[in-house]
Amino acid sequence: MKIAVYPGSFDPISNGHLDIIERAAKIFDFIYILVSVNPNKKYIFTDLERVEMLKIATKHLSNVQVEASNQLVLHYAREKKAQVIIRGLRNFFDYQSEITLFQFNRSIDSTIDTFILFPSADNLFLSSSSIKELVLFGADISNYVPHDLIEMITRIILERAK
């Protein structure tokens, strides 16, 4: 069985994330979506809220499970018997950080590989921080996040911005 882990902060989930999840779900037998903690990031949404949003957005995918963990992604992947870590790559800046992370991960555990997926053209520029900014300026985010989550994402961002 080909098992993969797709880690991220998903703060909040975007259509770009969902695009990668749906495409990866066609390639791998099972995917763990990992809401992970990056100590260098300040989150708007709690771990539980991010897990809930991902569960709502991926409810149509039977081979996807959403979890949160504060452990090293490689340790989580090993625990889940995953052979692959999925990463999304939008631009050269992503490439620079991802190639470094790939090499670092390989030096720790060469049995777990990295699988890169590029976003579809509509999502190439999309980031969670741009979604937060759009909400704060009252812009429509319906083209950028799963429709079932528009109200929740907007409400929480505006509540926590006060």
Q: Which of 14, 36, 69, 128 is catalytic?
A: 128
Model pLDDT, residue 109 = 87
41 labelled catalytic: yes
Strand partners, 158: none
Q: Which of 2, 41, 59, 160 is catalytic?
A: 41
Q: What is the CATH number of the domain that holds 60?
A: 3.40.50.620
Query: Domain count of the chain?
Result: 1
132 labelled catalytic: no
Q: Which of 14, 17, 50, 80 is catalytic?
A: 17
- How many Cα atoms within 13 Å fall on the side-chain side of residue 85? 28
Model pLDDT, residue 23 = 96
Domain span holding position 116: 3-161
The one-digit pLDDT tens for each residue of the chain (162 residues) are 999 999 999 999 999 999 999 999 999 999 999 999 877 788 999 999 999 999 999 999 999 999 999 999 999 999 999 999 999 887 777 778 888 878 888 888 899 999 999 888 787 677 889 999 999 999 999 999 999 999 999 999 999 987
Q: Which of 55, 78, 90, 106 is catalytic?
A: 90
Model pLDDT, residue 101 = 78
Let me know: does 10 contact 52? Beta carbons within 8 Å. Answer: no
